[in-house]
Amino acid sequence: MYSHLFKVACILMLGTWVNLAADAAQPQTAETEAGLPLPASTTEDTGTATAGAPDARPAPGVPGGLKRLEDLNLLSTALVDKAGSGSAAAHKFRIEARMYRELLRQTMLSNREQPANQQLPQPLLLDMVRMSALLHAAADCKTGFIISCPADLMQQLRSQQDRVTQGLKMTRMMYD
């Protein structure tokens, strides 16, 4: 019980931190637009510090939240696999699906603050909102203490996951 509360608290703190980090990055972005060199610290603020790693630095035109969405996509891929395994613990799955949603919300909130040419494509975000709703529906499909999704929901989870992955690849290609 307490470990669950701790996890939820961690998720909320992580979300808040991500939001603060995005706000902190805002003036730097403005500076970048003003012609100043882009510091490595503005590489996406996922908490997995990649400062100083040249390959992790986004191209000048890449929207700020793209890296974060790609990280979220890894999370949803893992969740879809878990849902299909038939042995995922229901309470953990629910927490992780919730984490996906909260991080997506934070990304969208910080994305809204970006200039128009730096914003993430709306169809991609909508696809991720749908993914979040499907993950929540999967979290409700529990037989006892494990997640067990019906075949039609599993099929849609996989299709939606493919769509999101494809959308992210297209967006990355568009800006790279």
Residues that bind another protein (CB under 8 A): 86, 90-91, 101, 104-105, 108-109, 112, 122, 125-130, 132-134, 136-137, 140-145, 148, 150-156, 159-160, 163
Considering the complex, what minimum distance in angstroms separates the CB of residue 144 from another protein?
6
**Nearer to another protein by C-beta: 50 or 156?**
156
Mapping DSSP onto H, E and C, the string for 111-175 reads HHCCCHHHCCCHHHHHHHHHHHHHHHHHHHCEECCEECCCHHHHHHHHHHHHHHHHHHHHHHHHH
Least Å distance, CB 4 to another protein, is 12
CA gap 70, 62 in Å, rounded: 13
d(CA 127, CA 132): 9
Looking at the Cβ atoms of 8 and 109, the one nearer to another protein is 109
Of the pair 57, 154, the CB lying nearest another protein is at 154
Question: How far apart are CB 122 and another protein at their closest, in Å?
Answer: 6
Q: How far is the CB of 24 from another protein (least distance, A)?
A: 21
* Separation between Cα atoms, residue 54 and residue 104, nearest integer Å: 26
CB atoms within 10 A of CB 139: 22
CA–CA distance, 96 with 99 (Å, rounded to integer): 5
CB 164 within 8 A of CB 72: no
Closest CB to another protein among residues 95, 129: 129
Least CB distance to another protein at residue 142 (A): 7
Query: Toward another protein, which CB reaches closer, 2 or 145?
Result: 145
